[in-house]
Amino acid sequence: MSELSRFGVSLEKGLLVKFDQLIKKKNCANRSEAFRDLIRQELIKEEWQGGKEIAGAVILIYDHHKRELVNKLTDIQHNHQTIIISTQHIHLDHNNCLEIIAVKGTPKEAKELADTLTSVKGVKHGTLSMSSTGKAID
Ligand code: NI
C-alpha cells in the first residue's frame, strides 16, 4: 500500500448522518474505508467513460435445453475471444445454467459482447459488471 495522506472533510450534519447509515448498511469498516470505496467507484466510472482498458464480467442465466442457444452463445464467445480471458459455467439446477465471462479490453468491446450475449433468445438474464484492471484505482 502506498503512503497514507490525511485530510479533513466538512459535511452538513444531515449528509454525515446519511453517510454513517450507508456505511452501517454496507458493513464498511469505517468512514475512511467508505470514502475510499466511493472514490474508487468514481475512478472506475471515469475509466469506462474514458475508453481505457477495463476489466469486468458478463453474467448470464439461461436454460440449456433451449434449441441452439448453447451453440449461439459459444459462437459469439469465439468471435470475441480477444477480450474474453476466462469463462466459467455452473450448472445451477436441472435446467438453468450460470455463465460468468471475465473480460479485459475496451469498454466498447465489453458492452458489445454483453449486449450481444444478453439479446440471444432464451437468455433469461444478462448483466455486465463493470470493474477495473486495478491500475487506475491505487
Ligand atoms: Ni449448465
CB-count exposure of residue 79 (10 Å: 0-12, 13-18, 19+): exposed
Residue-wise pLDDT for 31-88, tens only, equals 999 999 999 999 999 999 999 899 999 999 999 999 899 999 999 999 999 999 999 9
Would you give the distance in Å from CA 37 to the centre of its chain? Answer: 15
Name the pTM for this structure: 0.85
Q: Tens of pLDDT along 109-129? A: 999 999 999 999 999 999 999
How far does residue 83's CA lie from ligand 1's centre (Å)?
23
- Distance, in Å, from the CA atom of 99 to the CA atom of 84, rounded to the nearest integer, reads 13
The answer to whether the CB of 110 falls within 8 A of the CB of 57 is no
Q: For position 137, what pLDDT does the model report?
A: 84
Element (H, E) at 43: helix 31-50
How far does residue 98's CA lie from ligand 1's centre (Å)?
7
What CA–CA distance (Å, rounded) separates 136 from 138? 6
Task: Give 113 Cα–ligand 1 centroid separation in angstroms.
Answer: 20
- pLDDT for the residue 112: 97
Query: Strand ranges (DSSP E) for the chain?
Result: 54-63, 84-91, 96-105, 123-131
d(CA 63, ligand 1 centre) in Å: 8
Whether residue 1 is predicted with pLDDT greater than 80 in this model: the reply is no
Centre of ligand 1 from the C-alpha of residue 93, in Å:
8
User: Contact, 111 vs 128, CB < 8 A?
Assistant: yes
Gap from CA of 31 to ligand 1 centroid (Å): 42
CA of residue 129 to ligand 1 center, whole Å: 21
Question: What is the residue whose three cell numbers read 439446477?
Answer: 93
d(CA 73, CA 120): 8
